[in-house]
Amino acid sequence: AQSVTQPDIHITVSEGASLELRCNYSYGATPYLFWYVQSPGQGLQLLLKYFSGDTLVQGIKGFEAEFKRSQSSFNLRKPSVHWSDAAEYFCAVGDYEAAGNKLTFGGGTRVLVKP
Amino acid sequence: NAGVTQTPKFRVLKTGQSMTLLCAQDMNHEYMYWYRQDPGMGLRLIHYSVGEGTTAKGEVPDGYNVSRLKKQNFLLGLESAAPSQTSVYFCASSYSGTRGYTFGSGTRLTVV
């Protein structure tokens, strides 16, 4: 069965600094990978997704992620964070080999932004 | 442009009471899902549906039932609520599940 690990539960970053969130997955075939963001009290919003092709994908709000098959990783990055980026971030892997085409989510990383 | 709508947004139940959470989507999606979100555990799949009239168990189905009588609606029922079911519940829908989901804004349920 597929799984997703986000090693960092909390990250604190200063406004204007760079941000990198780690995501490692376990999946037998070529994965479909996603990053979602959840602002306090809100649902999850899709930031970006990877299906195939270019391993560096661009998303909304200035985020990007890089797929590294050799490391089973899909890390999320942003060059300069804004206070509005304070939120919880979830990495997910899609299983298209089983019924339901389900997404499996990591435990999430909560990002705090210092002024 | 509603997307996925969940009702209610908040609910407090007493142990043993029953309730139904409603999820409605207006995107003509075939796939619908119910997840629960608990601190440090991410989102865990309760039940899902791959089309009208179909339902299937997810990772944590015990204590919940679902129905999908109409394509646009996916109902999650708790027959006898327990404190362990205190959580935030999210519904999601998708044209093709692995292409990403559209989420509702969640239902915060407290069982006392």
For chain A, give percent helix, strand, coil, nearest 5: 10, 50, 40
The half-sphere exposure of B56 on its side-chain side, counting CA atoms within 13 A, is 15
* Mutation choice for B interface testing from A101, A104, A109 by most B CBs within 10 A: A101
List pLDDT tens digits, range B91-101.
999 987 667 89
Q: Would you mind telling me the total number of residues written for chain A in this entry?
A: 115
Distances A76 to A8, A50, B26, B64 between C-alpha atoms, Å:
12, 12, 31, 34
* Residue located via tokens 């909304």: A60
**pLDDT at position B97:** 62
Q: Is the peptide bond before B8 cis (omega within 30 degrees of 0)?
A: yes
Contact B31, B97 (CB under 8 A): yes
Q: Cβ–Cβ of A102/B104 closer than 8 Å? A: no
Task: Find the residue in A nearest to B4 (Cα).
Answer: A43
A67-97 tens-digit pLDDT: 999 999 999 999 999 999 999 999 999 887 7
